[in-house]
Chains A and B, each alone.
Chain A
């Protein structure tokens, strides 16, 4: 069977969930070969093998951390040259897309981003995408070269499929031209202890109706009772009530959780673009005419400051 390269997204060897989803999708089109760049490949390999990686190509070089993106492209290209894969899959993060794009130019291939599903086709893998604020579903394929495809988080449920996952060292030469953008400093984001927004199974978002940064703990409390991530609409972010990294929408993050709860969000097109593919949508809003109610599976017309705390209490009681 053809081999499929899977770029591993990890934090110091702790593999992030979207990579396990990629391995699951990769098995539909071939044998997954994981590419692990950075430290602790042995540790990562255990998890990667459990999810179907037949091989783990590993390389660690200080340049991966010292410079932006380009040295990792050199490494992925080395893996590509070593394997001659049927496709290259990466997570649809900012970095995943940029690495994929540069690799595509180098190998003369097309690139598809933000796939939400992937299947094998007669002329290569076919990617499903959700476009125009999720008003259309398209199916596309790469027609020139080896398909480079980035996949959105939550596009597949990770499945265990034990494979060898043998670690092989990948020889990488970082080109001088790849050392153009220096990372002068890096400040890790303080962990909130909550799930990552794009990866979370449940997202609770607050909007204009939250009416101030001091009220966001009401949203956070509901999120914590459900083990959810916290999102915010652009209005809430622009008002400075919540960090931009939590913004859900066209110019923020696009999320596709099992459950999306919008509190005090009217549902402008900007916001809908980022959450419309959520499996189940719930909204709480004072305004019965708010466009968000057109999307919901369940909506409550009411004051979020009454409904959300009552819901939080009820969730806590039911969870015991």
Chain B
């Protein structure tokens, strides 16, 4: 039987751009170009490797986001995912992590799955809670923050490198996995992959399709509220010296003045 893998990806504002908030204190998406979150590329890569090691597997890449988020799906498809699901609905604007996990969980259940693969965090919100939220909502094991992952005999195993220990984990499928940027470099899409991606199916779903009421999501339905967002004042210019043999001493003098020594 085919192994059904769903990879959750996010379309995020480019971190090298100048990111801003819009007037309603959501992320201003018009201001900066978007792209597939770099940390999700690792998730796509691990899904591809799991598929390559399996007899029979199929990868669906899933995103929740505005029309442009289609770009993130195309990137994942050009890397080698088989098909895509795009949840898009005007009422989703301003949805927070809890709401997003609800939408993703419903879409994953509708698609059907044995394994859900996520990145460790998005590069915009950087919360890193979505995989745990999904595991809780789907009521399946969470095998998260993995630097190594493999699937065999209906089980997923992996290594989680924490601050104080490195753990070897194991869970029966279905399960939710998240992988870190240490799991292995993501492949670049080949020209052939890019061409093939154009022909791969992208299913579009809205809130009605998922049986979710508009007031459960969006800015109004969010479980959290941003009340204020202020641009951090630029740092005042610091002292910069050129080392002409005394740089270390001068620096020590500065640190002593600041009471660090």
Binding site for B on A (CB under 8 A): 11, 68-70, 73, 93-95, 97-102, 104-106, 109-114, 126, 130-145, 177, 180-189, 196, 198, 202, 226, 244-245, 250-251, 258-259, 269-270, 273, 280-282, 284, 288, 293-303, 306-315, 318-319
Contact = CB atoms under 8 A, between A and B. Distances in A.
B195 interface: no
A9 B101 CA distance: 26
Interface string B235-261: 100111111010111111011101011
Nearest to B140: A180
B248 A311 contact: yes
A244 B182 CA distance: 8
Contacts, number: 266
Contacts of B181: 251
Contacts of B96: 110
Given A293-B238, A299-B238, 5 more contacts: A68-B144, A73-B136, A136-B229, A184-B170, A259-B260
- Judged by DSSP, the binding face of B is mixed
A72 to B, nearest CB: 12
Contacts of A315: 252, 255, 261
Interface of B: 15-16, 19, 21, 25, 38-39, 96-98, 101, 120, 123-133, 135-137, 139-145, 147, 157, 160-172, 175, 180-182, 222-232, 235, 238-243, 245, 247-252, 254-256, 258, 260-261
B246 to A, nearest CB: 8
A290 to B, nearest CB: 11
A226 B260 contact: yes
A151 B200 CA distance: 43
Nearest to A73: B136
A300 B165 contact: no
Contact of B165 (A188, A196, A259): A188
B153 to A, nearest CB: 14
A136 B248 contact: no
A132 B123 CA distance: 9
Given A98-B142, A311-B252, A314-B248, A299 B227 contact: no
B34 to A, nearest CB: 14
Most buried by B among A135, A136, A180, A270: A180
A137 B164 contact: no
A243 B144 CA distance: 20
A114 B255 contact: no
B166 A133 contact: no
